[in-house]
Amino acid sequence: MIDKMIDKIMDRIAWGMSVIGAFVLLLMLVVTVSDVVADKLLNQPFPGATELVMSIMPISVCAFMLSLQIKKRHIAIDIMVNMLGPKARVFLQLLTPPCGIFLFGLLTWLSVPLAIHSVRIGEHTGGNVGVPMYPAKVMIPIATGLVTIQLIIELVRILREWKKPQTAVAAPAVDISDNIS
């Protein structure tokens, strides 16, 4: 019951983050096309286009991370994993969430002070048009923190499943007389 509630909450957060990511990708597309058209037709590029795209690109990348983790759509090295035996695969399944929790937790922990500082000083890009950098710097710890939470949820479920008593499966009967010629 509580698992379904947690999944529903995380799915809604992932959907909201994906909407933000899609909007930012659309904005990047419009700005880039406008810049190219203005440069080619009017011989005057869109002012601040490069800075804007550069400053919102981390938002577009980070916004989809939770959804990718929930749907297990991240990059996997199936060729190498499929070469391993069943015990090694189980070991990797148990090892992956703690490693992810450590790495994404570390990213979150290290990026929070940078985001707070960026908001406090109102950090902007240099150049002709000053584009705010703090939205991207705020999105990074939010996204990595959400992925860390999702990985913790997955680890708890793996450990809970692992602790369940395994039902014994009877070995298939083999007729020895078939092997004798």
> How many domains, in total, are found in the chain?
1
pLDDT recorded at residue 177: 44
pLDDT recorded at residue 167: 57
CB contact at 8 A, 134 and 153: no
- When the pLDDT of each residue in the chain is averaged and rounded to a whole number, the result is 87
- How far apart are alpha carbons 63 and 57 in whole angstroms? 10
pLDDT recorded at residue 178: 44
Q: Is residue 34 part of a domain?
A: yes
- Contacts of residue 50, defined as CB under 8 A and 6 or more positions apart, other chains included, come to 35, 127
Phi and psi for 124 in degrees, rounded to 5? -130, 160
Q: Is residue 159 part of a domain?
A: yes
Q: What is the pLDDT of residues 15-67, one digit of tens each?
A: 999 999 999 999 999 999 999 999 999 999 888 888 899 999 999 999 999 99
Q: Is residue 181 part of a domain?
A: no
Please choose, from the candidates 50, 52, 60, the residue with its C-alpha nearest in 3D space to the C-alpha of residue 18: 60
- How far apart are alpha carbons 3 and 9 in whole angstroms? 10
Q: Is residue 53 part of a domain?
A: yes
Q: Is residue 63 part of a domain?
A: yes
CB contact at 8 A, 162 and 93: no
Domain extent at residue 87: 2-163
Q: Is residue 177 part of a domain?
A: no
Q: What is the pLDDT along the chain (181 residues), one digit of tens a residue?
A: 889 999 999 999 999 999 999 999 999 999 999 999 999 999 998 888 888 999 999 999 999 999 999 998 877 777 777 888 888 888 888 888 999 999 999 999 999 999 999 999 999 887 778 899 999 999 999 999 999 999 999 999 988 887 777 654 444 544 444 444 4
pTM score above 0.85: no
Q: Is residue 170 part of a domain?
A: no
